[in-house]
Amino acid sequence: MTILMAIIVPILYLLREFKIQSWRKKGADTKTVVSASSIFALPVFAITLFYILLSNQSFTFDSSWLFYSGVWIITCFVTNVMSYYIIKNISVTQFGIFTKVASILFSVIADIFVFHLTFPVISIIALSLMFLGGISIDKYEEKNIKKEVLTKSMIYIILLIFFIRFIDIFQTASFKQLSIIQSNPMFFVAFLQTALFIPLSFIGLKGVKKAVTEKLITVKDMIYLAFLIIIICFAEPYIYKALPLTVLTTLGLLRIGISYVYDVKADNLKINKKSLIALAMIIAGSLLLIFVY
Measured from the Cβ of residue 135, the count of other Cβ atoms closer than 10 Å reads 17
Q: What is the residue type of 186? A: M
Are the beta carbons of 259 and 137 closer than 8 angstroms?
no
Distance CA 200, CA 163 (A): 20
Distance CA 279, CA 132 (A): 10
Distance CA 268, CA 89 (A): 10
Q: Measured on CA atoms in the order 95, 255, 250, 134, is the torsion positive or negative? A: negative
Q: Please, is 68 exposed, middle or buried when counting C-beta atoms within 10 Å of its C-beta (0-12, 13-18, 19+)?
A: buried
Average pLDDT, the chain: 84
Question: Considering just the CA atoms, what is the radius of gyration of the chain in Å?
Answer: 20
The per-residue pLDDT for range 198-213, each reduced to its tens digit, is 999 999 999 999 999 9
**pLDDT confidence bin for 143, thresholds 50/70/90:** very low
Q: In sequence order, what are the residues at sequence separation of 6 or more whose Cβ sits closer than 8 angstroms to the Cβ of residue 220?
A: none
Distance CA 71, CA 211 (A): 32
Does residue 139 sit in helix, strand or coil?
A: strand
Does residue 65 sit in helix, strand or coil?
A: helix
Q: Is residue 39 over pLDDT 60?
A: yes
Measured from the Cβ of residue 49, the count of other Cβ atoms closer than 10 Å reads 19
The per-residue pLDDT for range 219-241, each reduced to its tens digit, is 999 999 999 999 999 887 777 66
The per-residue pLDDT for range 63-117, each reduced to its tens digit, is 999 999 999 999 999 999 999 999 888 888 888 888 878 877 777 776 677 656 6
Whole-angstrom CA distances from 189 to 170, 267, 281 are 18, 37, 37
| Share of residues in the chain with pLDDT > 90 (%) | 42
Which one, of 153, 156, 125, lies nearest residue 139 by Cα? 153
Q: Is residue 148 over pLDDT 70?
A: no
What pLDDT does residue 248 have?
63
Q: What is the residue type of 99? A: T
Distance CA 272, CA 269 (A): 9
Question: Given its phi and psi angles, is residue 144 left (phi above 0), alpha (psi -120 to 50 degrees) or beta?
Answer: left
Q: What is the residue type of 260? A: Y
- Name residue 269's beta-bridge partners: 139
What pLDDT does residue 144 have?
42
Q: What is the residue type of 282? A: I
Output the DSSP codes for 275-287: HHHHHHHHHHHHH
Are the beta carbons of 205 and 35 closer than 8 angstroms?
yes
**pLDDT confidence bin for 289, thresholds 50/70/90:** confident
Are the beta carbons of 60 and 183 closer than 8 angstroms?
yes
What pLDDT does residue 101 have?
83
